[in-house]
């Protein structure tokens, strides 16, 4: 039997984004052996283009998708998007084109606002969003909170939660070095990996590092990544007097990322909003307890006091208290480290991800109607 062709829509696979990491996970999974996965690039990530070239691409690209659907005789379009204004309006054209081509559609939402929040009280936008979502054969979300919200918003559409996943084999053999300082208590190695943007809570994290220094601790923060706030964050670290305790190392990949996460006593992700960050899964797989905000799918993964500590968004004092608590309790960090590794290997492996999507792909490629309530 010939393998069904699935067009996977998303950013450039080498771009620094969670969606790019998701695409790479799909192409590295067993799905690539059972289906013909074809990447179709959307969005500006990973491109160098002028404003005019971008406008031309936005106009032409949906037509290119239609040609690709016909040329490749595709069975499914798997559209990876987010519920924010930029992604929604850009990807609406791809969704409509796929529907007009009569192809089955997987509409996967990687975070952003919930439907009611996105509508902002506008009955017109609410109706348009609901009509948009009804074009999809199945809606895939990352978090349980999103699952409830989307099912209530479009009860006629099948909605399923399929969390992100990672290849745990890369992390299973990692050895965690002994923490610095006497009995590991005087010094705390803190790591952040991701986009350098204000909504990631990095300014609050720098404030927390400053606060812990006044409590007699010796924090060392490594910030890995790139983004629009990089220069401003470096200046802010100087203003706070913590520049000597903070290292900006730029984007990290492969072995460099593994070493960074393995050396971390704590991974901090103080985001204002999230989907399900790959950096969170990777840090936990490496055995790093987390200090994170309970947004998006993070509460689905992190149990407060078990895998780390949850703090409110935009609360530097709460981050500082959490860091101090973990700094002085090495045994607690060790228990959390073991719990983190167990959590990721049992529930967030790439095998689990491929199995969930395989079931969706099989039903759609065989022309079966998706059930309104899918359970994975």
Structure tokens at 126: 């609410």
Does residue 219 share a domain with residue 127?
no
Does residue 238 share a domain with residue 155?
no
Q: Is residue 372 part of a domain?
A: no
pLDDT in 10s for each residue of the chain, 376 residues? 678 999 999 998 887 778 888 999 899 899 999 999 999 999 877 677 788 888 888 889 999 999 999 999 999 999 999 999 989 999 999 999 999 999 999 999 998 889 999 988 899 999 999 999 999 999 999 989 999 999 999 999 999 999 999 888 888 777 666 555 554 445 799 999 999 999 999 999 999 999 998 887 889 999 999 999 999 999 999 999 999 999 999 999 888 999 999 999 999 999 998 888 999 999 999 999 999 999 988 999 999 999 999 999 999 999 999 999 999 898 999 999 999 999 999 899 888 899 999 999 999 988 766 665 555 5
3-state secondary structure of 102: coil
Does residue 20 share a domain with residue 92?
yes
Does residue 216 share a domain with residue 296?
yes
What pLDDT, on a 0 to 100 scale, did the predictor assign at position 184? Answer: 45
Q: Is residue 53 part of a domain?
A: yes
Structure tokens at 363: 């039903």
Q: DSSP alpha helices (H): ranges in the chain?
A: 18-28, 31-34, 51-72, 85-100, 115-119, 123-134, 144-153, 169-172, 202-213, 230-240, 254-263, 278-285, 298-301, 316-327, 330-347, 350-365
Does residue 156 share a domain with residue 299?
no
CATH number of the CATH domain containing 120:
3.40.50.2000
Does residue 343 share a domain with residue 277?
yes
How many structural domains does the chain have? 2
Q: Can you give the C-alpha Rg of the chain in angstroms?
A: 21
Q: Is residue 111 part of a domain?
A: yes
Residue 71 makes CB contacts below 8 A (sequence gap 6+) with none
Does residue 275 share a domain with residue 139?
no
Rounded to whole angstroms, the Cα distance separating 223 from 248 reads 5
3-state secondary structure of 260: helix
Query: Are 311 and 293 within 8 A, CB to CB?
Result: yes
Phi and psi torsions of 146, nearest 5°: -70, -40
Residue carrying the six token digits 């771009």: 15
**How many other CB atoms are there within 10 angstroms of residue 38's CB atom?**
16
What pLDDT, on a 0 to 100 scale, did the predictor assign at position 38? Answer: 97
Q: Is residue 373 part of a domain?
A: no
Structure tokens at 35: 């289906």
Structure tokens at 23: 């695409």
Does residue 87 share a domain with residue 39?
yes
What pLDDT, on a 0 to 100 scale, did the predictor assign at position 185? Answer: 46
Does residue 316 share a domain with residue 243?
yes
Does residue 128 share a domain with residue 90?
yes
Query: Are 15 and 226 within 8 A, CB to CB?
Result: no
Cα three-residue angle 360-363-365, rounded to 5 degrees: 100
Burial 301-329 (b: 16+ CB within 10 A, else e): bbeeeebbbbbebebbebbbbbbbebbbe
What pLDDT, on a 0 to 100 scale, did the predictor assign at position 338? Answer: 94
Q: Is residue 371 part of a domain?
A: no
Rounded to whole angstroms, the Cα distance separating 278 from 300 reads 14
Pairing of strands 36-41, 266-269: unpaired
Does residue 55 share a domain with residue 147?
yes
Side by side, the strands of the sheet bearing 5-10 are: 36-41, 5-10, 76-83, 104-112, 138-141, 159-161
Rounded to whole angstroms, the Cα distance separating 133 from 159 reads 10
Rounded to whole angstroms, the Cα distance separating 208 from 224 reads 18
Q: Is residue 185 part of a domain?
A: yes
Its domain, for residue 122, covers 5-165+349-365
- pLDDT per residue over 200-253, tens digit each? 999 999 999 999 988 878 899 999 999 999 999 999 999 999 999 999 999 998
Residue 49 makes CB contacts below 8 A (sequence gap 6+) with 57
Query: Are 162 and 376 within 8 A, CB to CB?
Result: yes
Q: Is residue 114 part of a domain?
A: yes
Query: Are 32 and 353 within 8 A, CB to CB?
Result: no
Rounded to whole angstroms, the Cα distance separating 11 from 284 reads 25
Q: Is residue 32 part of a domain?
A: yes
Does residue 100 share a domain with residue 75?
yes
Count the residues in the chain.
376
């Amino acid at each position: 039997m010939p393998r069904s062709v699935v067009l996977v829509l998303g950013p450039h696979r080498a771009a620094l984004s969670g969606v790019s990491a998701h695409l790479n996970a799909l192409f590295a999974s067993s799905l690539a052996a059972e289906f013909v996965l074809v990447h179709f690039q959307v969005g500006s990530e990973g491109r160098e283009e002028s404003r005019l070239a971008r406008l031309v691409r936005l106009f032409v690209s949906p037509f290119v998708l239609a040609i690709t659907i016909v040329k490749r005789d595709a069975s499914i379009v798997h559209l990876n998007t987010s519920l924010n204004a930029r992604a929604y309006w850009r990807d609406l054209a791809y969704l409509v084109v796929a529907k007009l081509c009569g192809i089955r559609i997987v509409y996967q939402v990687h975070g952003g606002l919930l439907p009611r929040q996105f509508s902002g009280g506008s009955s017109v936008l609410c109706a348009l969003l609901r009509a948009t979502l009804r074009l999809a054969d199945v809606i895939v979300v990352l978090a349980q909170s999103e699952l409830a919200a989307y099912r209530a918003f479009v009860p006629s559409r099948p909605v399923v939660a399929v969390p992100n996943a990672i290849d745990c084999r890369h992390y299973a053999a990692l050895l965690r070095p002994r923490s610095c300082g006497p009995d590991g208590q005087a010094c705390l190695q803190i790591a952040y990996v991701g986009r350098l943007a204000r909504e990631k809570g990095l300014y609050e994290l720098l404030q927390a590092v400053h606060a812990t220094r006044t409590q007699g601790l010796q924090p060392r923060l490594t910030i890995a990544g790139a983004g629009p706030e990089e220069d401003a964050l470096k200046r802010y670290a100087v203003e706070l007097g913590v520049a000597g305790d903070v290292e900006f190392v730029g984007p990290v990949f492969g072995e460099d990322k593994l070493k960074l996460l393995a050396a971390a006593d704590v991974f901090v992700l103080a985001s204002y909003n999230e989907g399900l960050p790959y950096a969170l899964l990777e840090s936990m797989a490496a055995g790093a307890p987390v200090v994170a905000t309970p947004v998006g799918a993070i509460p689905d993964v992190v149990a407060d006091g078990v895998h780390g500590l949850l703090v409110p968004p935009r609360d530097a004092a709460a981050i500082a208290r959490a860091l101090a608590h973990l700094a002085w309790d090495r045994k607690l960090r060790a228990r959390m480290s073991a719990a983190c590794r167990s959590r990721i290997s049992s529930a967030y492996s790439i095998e689990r991800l491929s199995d969930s999507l395989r079931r969706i792909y099989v039903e759609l490629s065989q022309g079966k109607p998706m059930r309104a309530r899918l359970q994975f």
